[in-house]
């Protein structure tokens, strides 16, 4: 009993109630939205300035890449649902919450793996920051910045998983999970915009 | 709970010393400053940092003024001159004005809303140290050794660093990177600080303190922090794009590769114009606290004042391109941005009328904070009027990048914001240190700074209209600019003398000032309810707030405000 005491809820310092943390997190996400808004706005301005000269590279247009990215998109979006159901279960103290959290992480990991693969194949086709003009610059900045956010979100969820396993996230005390999941949902929403403007339009 | 006072059960012992920390020694004191998460200490650290950078950037300003004092002068060489105005502008905005805003928000807002501390105390410390070290990062460019490219030293790109001057081809070496990265880091610090203050105001108001009963300084700070959270990220996005352009070969702002240098200007001013309101709204807030207390009347038109603050905040989002009239926008954009710019004059004018309305018929006490507020009203009026002039696009085509613009924005920032900050300092200093600031030194400071300010910036309107361009290194005689420049340089020394007396006063009064007591100004907001300086836990008991002037209700139970609101 004494050995595990340091890890139980009763021995942690008091925290402000979750709605404060949630409010802070949402405000922070508003600033993140403006950061992506800036980058996306820049992309739109540059692209509309380029007019018909704007050609997506072959590597992005071929059906295999499109199919792979589409599957990765579906995976990232469904990870939001698995995360939601995981959170619901953990907050209700039901079984299966941790498994769903793990599944979320796996889905996010698959998305990141696909992004990395795409970057490598583009690089080998000679499409990089400095070789493909503003199109290359914008593509890599947007996907790279988003990928970095997915990576950070995955780290947060991993930490949430560990904390759940250690009993630090409970139905009464779950601010960490709350914030990580808000962040994850935000990153997913950003990807919907990015996928639309980079791959579809 | 009886007689309207709710008591909060708090431990009143001091915080325990950190491991290895000795209380009462110099090292213990330094450790306390470094590891503190207390909003009052962090607020003072912010303000102290700001005055430190203020001295540095003020010396730069004096050198700039010396260089252009008379025609053909050679006090510094041209490269140093370019570096001087770049560093002066950047430091004054990001490491003087911003930390002052955050310092006052930190110190005053939790006290005004009856909170124990900020919502996220450790995040607060994080924000402060990011701000502090990002400033050090920029200053480090002065001592960083010559790079492989032979170009180093401080950046020479002006504070808005227009593309494509900042690309590798035109600016090799690390100078621009110091500029860009330090702004990125300070941006992160400001955004986290903004998140913190907003959360504090929305979640930690004491019992009965509805949004509609909030002091106006808190309202102004809330709007400011909203602008920080929303409009600093586009600048960070631009800095990231610039850094990738310089290091990864991206082409965002390179016209030859299809990039757009004007895009940089849009990014910069989407941040840059709300920044003006980020700085001036808290100064408005300070005036709205000081003027009622020293006129012995409640603020005139509180709902209108709140509406004006929020309206200014929103409209400020749609005016940025008035900094870009001369780049060749289409006529629709010019009309839109000129119109939006003129619209801002309405809520601002409303505030000026309401301050005057507050003073009308009041028993005005000409104490130091009030003197600075009076100067503020006059100067900000003129600053606003020249702003309206420059907001009219054809006028701006004539005078853009002239000394007229320099005079205009120094009127806003020095005549407005700095005077407001001085008023706030004289007003809240007794709360922070328990002692009054010395009145005689303060009066000397006021008059020297007032005369210096007008002597410096009034003539610049004339040299600007006579065609003197901004950022010019030197000029030929016979253009009619000599007398104005000479006057302006003399004024700079008056300001420097005033500022020196102010700094001396800050230290002298903390040591020898008259004891202040809890409420030296007979004021009405909650921060005057606790001891001066406030204890770690801020309040032992708090009255239940039932009106906008909770302490008036306490002092005058026979005639409380809540009967009339």
The reply to whether A31 touches chain B by the CB within 8 Å rule is yes
From chain B, pick out residues whose CB is under 8 angstroms from the CB of A136.
250-251
Band (B16; pLDDT cuts 50, 70, 90)? low
pLDDT of residue B565: 77
pLDDT of residue A8: 46
Tell me the pLDDT tens digit for each residue of A139-152.
999 999 999 999 99
pLDDT of residue A133: 78
Q: What is the CATH number of the domain that holds B305?
A: 1.20.210.10
From chain A, pick out residues whose CB is under 8 angstroms from the CB of B248.
129-130, 140
Per-residue pLDDT at B508 exceeds 70: yes
Minimal CA separation from B199 to chain A, in Å: 5
Q: If you average pLDDT over each of A171-175, A193-197, B155-159, B449-453, which comes out highest? A: B449-453
Instruction: Determine, yes or no, domain membership for B27.
Output: no
Per-residue pLDDT at B93 exceeds 70: yes
DSSP conformation class of B436: P
Entry pTM: 0.92
> Nearest-CA neighbor of B221 among B196, B258, B253, B186?
B196
Pairing of strands B541-543, B5-7: antiparallel
Tell me the pLDDT tens digit for each residue of A72-107.
999 999 999 999 999 999 999 888 999 999 999 999
* Of B140-149, B218-227, B290-299, B407-416, the least confident: B140-149
Per-residue pLDDT at A9 exceeds 60: no
Please, which residues 169-208 of chain B have a Cβ atom closer than 8 Å to chain A? 191-192, 194-196, 198-199, 202-204
* Of A10-24, B190-204, B294-308, the least confident: A10-24
Average pLDDT over residues B243-264: 90
From chain B, pick out residues whose CB is under 8 angstroms from the CB of A19.
203
pLDDT of residue B170: 86
Instruction: Determine, yes or no, domain membership for B15.
Output: no
The reply to whether B232 touches chain A by the CB within 8 Å rule is yes
**B74, containing H or E segment:** none
Domain count, chain B: 1
Average pLDDT over residues A126-144: 86
Q: Which residue from B minimizes the CA distance to A30?
A: B230
- Of B237, B249, B263, which is closest to A130 when you measure between CB atoms? B249
Q: Are B208 and B544 in contact (CB under 8 A)?
A: yes
Band (A135; pLDDT cuts 50, 70, 90)? confident
Instruction: Determine, yes or no, domain membership for B461.
Output: yes
DSSP conformation class of B8: P
Instruction: Determine, yes or no, domain membership for B214.
Output: yes
Tell me the pLDDT tens digit for each residue of B518-551.
999 999 999 999 999 999 889 988 878 899 999 9
Residues B31-68 as b or e (16 or more Cβ within 10 Å = b): bbeeebbbbbbbbbbbbebbbbbbebbbebbbbbbebb
pLDDT of residue B208: 86
Report the alpha-carbon distance of residue B561 to residue B565 in Å, rounded: 7
Q: Which two tokens stand for residue B275?
A: 């920044």
pLDDT of residue B410: 96
The reply to whether B329 touches chain A by the CB within 8 Å rule is no
From chain A, pick out residues whose CB is under 8 angstroms from the CB of B196.
24
Instruction: Determine, yes or no, domain membership for B192.
Output: yes
Minimal CA separation from A21 to chain B, in Å: 8
The reply to whether B250 touches chain A by the CB within 8 Å rule is yes
Tell me the pLDDT tens digit for each residue of B113-144.
999 899 999 999 999 999 999 999 999 988 87
> Nearest-CA neighbor of B421 among B529, B506, B347, B310?
B506
The reply to whether B120 touches chain A by the CB within 8 Å rule is yes
Band (B338; pLDDT cuts 50, 70, 90)? very high
Residue B362, phi-psi category: left (phi > 0), alpha (psi -120 to 50), beta (remainder)? beta
CB contact under 8 A, A137 and B240: no
> Nearest-CA neighbor of B487 among B64, B69, B74, B71?
B69
The reply to whether B231 touches chain A by the CB within 8 Å rule is yes
Band (A131; pLDDT cuts 50, 70, 90)? confident
Band (A13; pLDDT cuts 50, 70, 90)? low
Minimal CA separation from B201 to chain A, in Å: 11
CB contact under 8 A, B241 and A141: yes
Average pLDDT over residues B278-307: 96
Band (A14; pLDDT cuts 50, 70, 90)? low
Structural domain boundaries, residue B104: 36-564
Minimal CA separation from A95 to chain B, in Å: 33
Q: Which residue from A minimizes the CA distance to B232?
A: A31
Map residue B6 onto helix, strand or coil.
strand
From chain B, pick out residues whose CB is under 8 angstroms from the CB of A138.
252
Angle (CA) A147-A149-A152 rounded to 5° is 110
Minimal CA separation from A131 to chain B, in Å: 8
Report the alpha-carbon distance of residue B161 to residue B197 in Å, rounded: 30
ipTM of the prediction: 0.90
CB contact under 8 A, A37 and B234: yes
CB contact under 8 A, B119 and A16: yes
Per-residue pLDDT at A4 exceeds 50: no
Tell me the pLDDT tens digit for each residue of B37-75.
999 999 999 999 999 999 999 999 999 999 999 999 999
Per-residue pLDDT at A44 exceeds 70: yes
pLDDT of residue B6: 45
Instruction: Determine, yes or no, domain membership for B113.
Output: yes
Report the alpha-carbon distance of residue B444 to residue B405 in Å, rounded: 29
Minimal CA separation from B120 to chain A, in Å: 8
pLDDT of residue B24: 72
Map residue B329 onto helix, strand or coil.
coil
Q: Are B395 and B334 in contact (CB under 8 A)?
A: no
Q: Which residue from B minimizes the CA distance to A23?
A: B199
The reply to whether A96 touches chain B by the CB within 8 Å rule is no
**What is the domain class of A62-201 according to CATH?**
mainly alpha
The reply to whether B237 touches chain A by the CB within 8 Å rule is yes
Q: Which residue from B minimizes the CA distance to A32?
A: B233
């Amino acid at each position: 009993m004494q050995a595990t005491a340091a890890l139980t809820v009763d021995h942690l310092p008091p925290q402000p109630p979750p709605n404060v943390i949630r409010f802070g997190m949402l405000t922070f996400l508003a600033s993140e939205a403006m950061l992506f808004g800036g980058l996306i706005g820049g992309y739109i301005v540059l692209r509309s300035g380029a007019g018909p000269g704007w050609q997506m590279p072959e590597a992005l247009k071929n059906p295999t890449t499109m199919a792979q990215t589409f599957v990765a998109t579906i995976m990232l979006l469904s990870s939001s649902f698995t995360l939601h159901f995981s959170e619901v279960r953990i907050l209700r103290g039901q079984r299966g919450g941790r498994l769903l959290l793990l599944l979320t992480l796996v889905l996010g990991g698959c998305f990141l793996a696909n992004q990395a693969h795409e970057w490598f194949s583009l690089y080998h086709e000679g499409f990089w920051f400095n070789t493909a003009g503003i199109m290359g610059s914008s593509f890599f900045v947007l996907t790279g910045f988003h990928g970095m956010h997915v990576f950070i979100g995955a780290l947060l969820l991993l930490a949430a998983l560990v904390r759940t396993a250690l009993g630090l996230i409970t139905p009464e005390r779950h601010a960490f999970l709350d914030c990580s999941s808000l962040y994850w949902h935000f990153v997913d929403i950003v990807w919907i915009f990015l996928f639309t403007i980079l791959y579809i339009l | 709970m009886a007689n309207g006072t709710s008591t909060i059960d708090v431990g009143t012992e001091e915080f325990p010393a950190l491991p290895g920390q000795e209380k009462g020694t110099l090292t213990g004191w330094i450790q306390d400053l470094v590891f503190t998460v207390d909003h009052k200490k962090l607020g003072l650290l912010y303000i102290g940092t700001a005055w430190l950078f203020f001295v540095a950037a003020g010396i730069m300003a004096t050198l700039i003024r010396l260089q252009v004092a008379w025609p053909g002068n050679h006090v510094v060489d041209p490269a140093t001159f370019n570096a001087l105005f770049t560093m002066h502008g950047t430091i004054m905005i990001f490491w003087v004005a911003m930390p002052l805003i955050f310092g006052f928000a930190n110190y005053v807002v939790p006290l005004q809303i009856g909170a124990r501390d900020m919502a996220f105390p450790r995040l607060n410390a994080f924000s402060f140290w990011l701000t502090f070290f990002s400033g050090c990062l920029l200053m480090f460019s002065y001592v960083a050794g010559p790079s492989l490219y032979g170009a180093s030293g401080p950046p020479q790109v002006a504070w808005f660093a227009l593309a494509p001057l900042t690309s590798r081809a035109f600016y090799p070496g690390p100078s621009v990177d110091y500029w860009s990265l330090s702004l990125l880091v300070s941006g992160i610090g400001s955004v986290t600080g903004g998140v913190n203050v907003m959360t504090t105001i929305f979640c930690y108001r004491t019992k009965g303190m509805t949004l509609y009963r909030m002091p106006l300084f808190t309202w102004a700070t809330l709007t400011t922090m909203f602008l920080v959270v929303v409009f600093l990220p586009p600048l960070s996005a631009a800095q990231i794009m610039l850094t990738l352009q310089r290091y990864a070969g991206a082409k965002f702002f390179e016209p030859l590769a299809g990039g757009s240098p004007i895009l940089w200007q849009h990014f910069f001013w989407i941040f840059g114009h709300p920044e003006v309101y980020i700085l001036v709204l808290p100064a408005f807030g300070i005036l709205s606290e000081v003027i009622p207390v020293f006129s012995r009347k409640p603020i005139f038109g509180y709902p209108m004042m709140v509406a004006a603050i929020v309206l200014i905040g929103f409209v400020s989002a749609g005016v940025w391109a008035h900094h870009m009239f001369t780049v060749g926008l289409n006529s629709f954009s010019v009309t839109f941005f000129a119109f939006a710019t003129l619209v801002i004059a309405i809520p601002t004018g409303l505030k000026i009328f309401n301050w005057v309305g507050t003073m009308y018929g009041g028993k005005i006490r000409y104490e130091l904070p009030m003197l600075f507020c009076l100067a503020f009203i006059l100067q900000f009026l003129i600053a606003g009027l020249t702003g309206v002039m420059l907001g009219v696009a054809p006028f701006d085509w004539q005078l853009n990048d002239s000394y007229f613009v320099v005079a205009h924005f120094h009127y806003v920032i020095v005549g407005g914001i700095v005077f407001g900050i001085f008023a706030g300092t004289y007003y809240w200093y007794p709360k922070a240190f328990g002692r009054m600031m010395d009145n005689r030194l303060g009066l000397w400071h006021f008059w020297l700074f007032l005369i210096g300010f007008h002597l410096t910036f009034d003539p610049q309107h004339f040299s600007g209209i006579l065609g003197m361009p901004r950022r010019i290194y030197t000029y030929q005689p016979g253009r009619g600019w000599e007398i104005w420049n000479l006057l302006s340089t003399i004024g700079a020394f008056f300001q420097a003398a005033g500022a020196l007396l102010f700094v001396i006063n800050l230290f002298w009064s903390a040591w020898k000032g008259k004891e202040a007591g809890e409420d030296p100004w007979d004021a009405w907001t909650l921060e005057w309810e606790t001891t001066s300086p406030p204890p770690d836990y801020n309040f032992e008991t708090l009255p239940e707030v039932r009106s906008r002037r909770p302490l008036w209700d306490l002092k005058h139970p026979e005639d409380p405000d809540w009967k009339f609101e």
